C-alpha cells in the first residue's frame, strides 16, 4: 500500500514505482505484471464511470493491459 | 545427436517394447513451431501400458542391460520419470510419462485427435495443438509464455482451414485466442456477419474467445456461461465497443489475465491438495505409517 508523506511523492501516486522501490518487484516488467494482476477492480470502476470508449482506450491502465498482452501484427515491424 | 533425433530414437525404442505414446511438453512446442530448448522428454502414455511400464522400459534398448533409475514423483499414480543417463554437458536426461494429466481428458480422446508429423527424422504422434495449449494452463509462468506463441500458431492454422474450407468460418472463430488471430479474421471479413459470429459464440465457453467475438455478434448476443465467467460490466461494454478498437483489445487482455490467474490458482490448489494428502494421509490408511 502507498505510504503517506513519502520523500518521493511518486511513491504515493505510482503503484508500479511503489512495487519497484519497496522491493516487491525486481524489475519494471515484473512490477507492471503484479500491478495488472491486482487491477481488475480498478478496470471495473473505470468501465462504470463516465469515460467514453475512446477515452478508456487511451487510459494508462488499459494501455498497459494491451502492452502486456497478446501481440498485434504491427509488433512484427519493430 | 540433436534433441529431436534423440526423441525419435527414444520413441522407436518404446515402440519396440509395445508402448504407445503421445509427445507433449517442450518437444511438442518445438514441433508446432516455437524454437526453444528442452532436455526432458514428456510423453503421455496409454493407460493400458502403465502397470508394467518400468518392466518394459528395462527390457528396451534404452536400459542397455541395467534397470533405469526411477525418479521422484509427487503424483506417483499419474506421473513417472526415469533417468536415461547424462547429457554431454553433465545434466541429467529424464524420460517422463503421464498416465493421466489433471488438465487433460482421457488418453483415448487425446489419441483420437492427435497430430502426426515428422520430427527427428521419423513420424511421431503429438498432442493436438489445442490439447497442448490446455496442458500448459498451469501455475508456471513459462508455460503461459509457450501458450502465447502456440495461440498465434493455432489461429494461423484456423485461418488457413477456414479459407480453404476445411472447417467452417464459425468453427474457426469459435477457437480464436490471439490478437493476431482477431486482426487476421477481421481483415478477411470473417467477422462482418453477426449471424456467423453468434454461431461461433454459441460453441465456446472460453472467456477469451467470447471477449474477442462479442463486439461483432450484435448487441443482443448472449454467449454461454464461460468456464471462467467475465464480469457483467465487461460483458456489457464488449457488446457495444468497436471490434479491434483500443478499448476492445484492452478488454480482451483484461479477460485473458483473469482467465490465466484462475487457471494458475486452480493448478496451484491442485498441487497443494496432493502435497497435503501425501504429508497428512487419512488416519485409516494402512500405509500411513510410511
User: Inter-chain contact B258–A40, Cβ cutoff 8 Å?
Assistant: yes
Minimal C-alpha gap between B61 and chain A (Å): 44
Q: Which residues does B277 contact at the CB level (< 8 Å), separation at least 6?
A: none
Q: What is the DSSP string of B55-83?
A: HHHHHSTTTTTSPPEEPP-SSTTTEEEEE
pTM of the model: 0.91
Does residue A37 belong to the interface with chain B, where contact is any CB pair within 8 Å? Answer: yes
Confidence at residue A7, expressed as pLDDT on a 0 to 100 scale = 66
Interface of A with B in 45-74 (CB under 8 A): 47-48, 53-54, 56-58, 62-63, 65-66, 68-73
Confidence at residue A71, expressed as pLDDT on a 0 to 100 scale = 93
b/e code A45-58 from CB counts within 10 Å (16+ = b): ebbeeeeeeeebbe
Confidence at residue A9, expressed as pLDDT on a 0 to 100 scale = 67
Number of Cβ within a 10 Å radius of residue B26: 20
What average pLDDT does the segment B237-257 reach?
A: 97
User: Inter-chain contact B250–A57, Cβ cutoff 8 Å?
Assistant: yes
Residue ranges of chain A with pLDDT lower than 70?
Answer: 1-12, 75-78
| Cα separation, B13 vs A69, whole angstroms | 42
Confidence at residue B183, expressed as pLDDT on a 0 to 100 scale = 97
What average pLDDT does the segment B76-85 reach?
A: 91
User: Inter-chain contact B183–A65, Cβ cutoff 8 Å?
Assistant: no
User: Inter-chain contact B234–A44, Cβ cutoff 8 Å?
Assistant: yes
User: Which residues in chain A are closer than 8 Å to B148, comparing Cβ atoms?
Assistant: 70-71
What average pLDDT does the segment B35-50 reach?
A: 92
Convert the pLDDT of each residue in B140-165 to its tens digit.
Answer: 999 999 999 999 999 999 999 999 99
pLDDT of B285 strictly over 50: no
User: Which residues in chain A are closer than 8 Å to B152, comparing Cβ atoms?
Assistant: 70-71
Provide ipTM, 2 decimals: 0.89
- Signed CA dihedral, B43, B47, B53, B56: sign only: negative
Amino acid at each position: 500500500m502507498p505510504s503517506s508523506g513519502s520523500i518521493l511523492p511518486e511513491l504515493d501516486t505510482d503503484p508500479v514505482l511503489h512495487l519497484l522501490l519497496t522491493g516487491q518487484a525486481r524489475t519494471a516488467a515484473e512490477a507492471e505484471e503484479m500491478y495488472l494482476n491486482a487491477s481488475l477492480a480498478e478496470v471495473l470502476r473505470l468501465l462504470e464511470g463516465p469515460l467514453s470508449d475512446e477515452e478508456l482506450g487511451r487510459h494508462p491502465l488499459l494501455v498497459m493491459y494491451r502492452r502486456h498482452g497478446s501481440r498485434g501484427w504491427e509488433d512484427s515491424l519493430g | 545427436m540433436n534433441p529431436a533425433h534423440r526423441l525419435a530414437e527414444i520413441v522407436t525404442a518404446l515402440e519396440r517394447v509395445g508402448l504407445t505414446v503421445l509427445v507433449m511438453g517442450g518437444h511438442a512446442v518445438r514441433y508446432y513451431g516455437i524454437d526453444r530448448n528442452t532436455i526432458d522428454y514428456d510423453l503421455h502414455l496409454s493407460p493400458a501400458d502403465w502397470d508394467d511400464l518400468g518392466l518394459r522400459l528395462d527390457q528396451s534398448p534404452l536400459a542397455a542391460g541395467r534397470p533405469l533409475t526411477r525418479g521422484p514423483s509427487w503424483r506417483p499414480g499419474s506421473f513417472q520419470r526415469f533417468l536415461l543417463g547424462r547429457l554431454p554437458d553433465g545434466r541429467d536426461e529424464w524420460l517422463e510419462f503421464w498416465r493421466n494429466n489433471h488438465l487433460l481428458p482421457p488418453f483415448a480422446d487425446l489419441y483420437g485427435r492427435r497430430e502426426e508429423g515428422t520430427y527427428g527424422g521419423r513420424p511421431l504422434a503429438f498432442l493436438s495443438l489445442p490439447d497442448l495449449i490446455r496442458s500448459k494452463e498451469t501455475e508456471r509462468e513459462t508455460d503461459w509464455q509457450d501458450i502465447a506463441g502456440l495461440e498465434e500458431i493455432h489461429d494461423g492454422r484456423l485461418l488457413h482451414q477456414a479459407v480453404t474450407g476445411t472447417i467452417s468460418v464459425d468453427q474457426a472463430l469459435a477457437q480464436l485466442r490471439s490478437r493476431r488471430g482477431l486482426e487476421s479474421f477481421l481483415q478477411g471479413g470473417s467477422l462482418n456477419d453477426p449471424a456467423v459470429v453468434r454461431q461461433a459464440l454459441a460453441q465456446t465457453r472460453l472467456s477469451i474467445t467470447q471477449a474477442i467475438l462479442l463486439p461483432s455478434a450484435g448487441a443482443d448476443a448472449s454467449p454461454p456461461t464461460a468456464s471462467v465467467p467475465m464480469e457483467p460490466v465487461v460483458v456489457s461494454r464488449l457488446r457495444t465497443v468497436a471490434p479491434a478498437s483500443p478499448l476492445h483489445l484492452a478488454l480482451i487482455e483484461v479477460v485473458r489475465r483473469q482467465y490465466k490467474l484462475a487457471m494458475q490458482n486452480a493448478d496451484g490448489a491442485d498441487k497443494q491438495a496432493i502435497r497435503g494428502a501425501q504429508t497428512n494421509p487419512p488416519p485409516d490408511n494402512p500405509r500411513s505409517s510410511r
